[in-house]
């Protein structure tokens, strides 16, 4: 987790859910993103704070330090290690939110192919996933080495049956605190370690196996199917 997400609303919908009450600067055209099957290494809408306010940019999902050229860029970072391990040390201070409408996991149910599930908030709101990255410069835009990772934690409750890891999704007020550059790094670590949304905030259901091919798109990929 998490290796495939959905991101289909208007970018302004994701910005507005933060409740900042002001304007934001977006390099993304305000039309439905319409991406129901988003794979790692592609450009994904990301929210981050700069000196002039909230920015929304398309940023590559995946990042690695320059000295780790012998491995593929990770797309996730384990919350238990991200704040103190050397791998993400350079980007730990650079906090962001990846706003998604849900994510996919695959479960072995004894069939020849694993069954995909879609996981989303029960209340229908976007999932504000705590992220860190090498982020676009406010003046120069996206750089060659920019990218981000989503922070993940152990699953709990019934979600464990779907996958043992989950993205750290923050409630609106905590998401604002996470983005705020004035939030100390120690407080930021406590937010993602202990204050992510509980499994009870989510629902999950079987979806079409067509989601296994990232070239497939469309709203039918997130519709429940009857077992």
Predicted pLDDT of residue 137: 86
Pairing of strands 147-154, 76-78: parallel
When pLDDT is averaged across residues 4-8 and rounded to a whole number, the result is: 97
Residue 220 in domain: no
What pLDDT was estimated at residue 1?
A: 59
Mean pLDDT over the full length of the chain: 93
Inside any domain, residue 201: no
**Nearest 10 degrees: Cα torsion 104, 11, 142, 151:** -40
- Any domain includes 96: yes
Residue 211 domain flag:
no
- In angstroms, rounded to a whole number, what is the distance separating the alpha carbons of residues 101 and 150? 14
- Look up the pTM and report it: 0.95
Inside any domain, residue 186: yes
Is residue 110 in a domain?
no
pLDDT digits (tens, 9 = 90+) for 127-180: 999 999 999 987 777 888 899 999 999 887 777 778 889 999 999 999 999 999
With a pLDDT cut of 70, the percent of the chain lying above it is 99
- Active-site amino acid positions: 2, 105
Looking up tokens 């996991």 gives: 105
Predicted confidence (pLDDT) per residue in 90-141, tens digit: 999 999 999 999 999 999 988 899 999 999 999 999 999 999 999 998 777 7
Provide the residue range defining the domain that includes 76: 5-101+127-196
Q: Is residue 203 part of a domain?
A: no
Q: Where are the alpha helices (DSSP H) in the chain?
A: 11-16, 172-179, 185-194
Torsion (CA) 224, 32, 2, 67 in degrees, nearest 10: 160
Give the span between the Cα atoms of 227 and 225, in whole angstroms. 6
pLDDT at 143: 83
Q: Which residues contact 73 (CB under 8 A, 6 or more apart)?
A: 41, 62, 63, 64, 147
The number of domains in the chain is 1
Residue 163 lies in a domain: yes
Residue 142 tokens read as: 């996206």
Q: Where are the beta strands (DSSP E) in 39-126?
A: 43-50, 53-60, 76-78, 95-100, 102-107, 115-121
CATH of the domain at 138: 3.90.1680.10
């Amino acid at each position: 987790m998490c290796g495939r997400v959905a991101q289909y609303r208007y970018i302004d919908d994701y910005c507005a859910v933060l409740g900042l009450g002001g304007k934001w600067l977006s390099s993304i055209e305000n039309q439905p993103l319409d991406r129901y099957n988003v794979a790692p290494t592609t450009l994904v809408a990301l929210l981050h704070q700069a000196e002039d306010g909230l920015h929304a940019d398309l940023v590559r999902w995946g990042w690695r330090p320059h000295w780790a050229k012998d491995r593929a860029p990770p797309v996730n970072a384990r919350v238990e290690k991200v704040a103190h391990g050397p791998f993400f040390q350079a980007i730990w201070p650079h906090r962001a939110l990846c706003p998604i409408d849900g994510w996919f996991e695959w479960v072995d149910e004894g069939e020849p192919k694993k069954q995909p599930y879609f996981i989303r908030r029960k209340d229908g709101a976007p999932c504000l996933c705590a992220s860190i990255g090498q982020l676009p410069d406010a003046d120069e835009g996206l750089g060659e080495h920019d990218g981000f990772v989503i922070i993940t934690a152990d699953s709990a409750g019934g979600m464990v049956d779907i996958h043992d890891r989950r993205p750290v999704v923050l409630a609106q007020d905590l998401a604002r605190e996470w983005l705020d550059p004035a939030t100390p790094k120690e407080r930021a670590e406590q937010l993602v370690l202990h204050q992510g949304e509980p499994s009870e905030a989510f629902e999950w259901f079987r979806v079409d196996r067509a989601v296994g091919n990232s070239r497939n798109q469309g709203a039918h990929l997130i519709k429940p199917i009857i077992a």
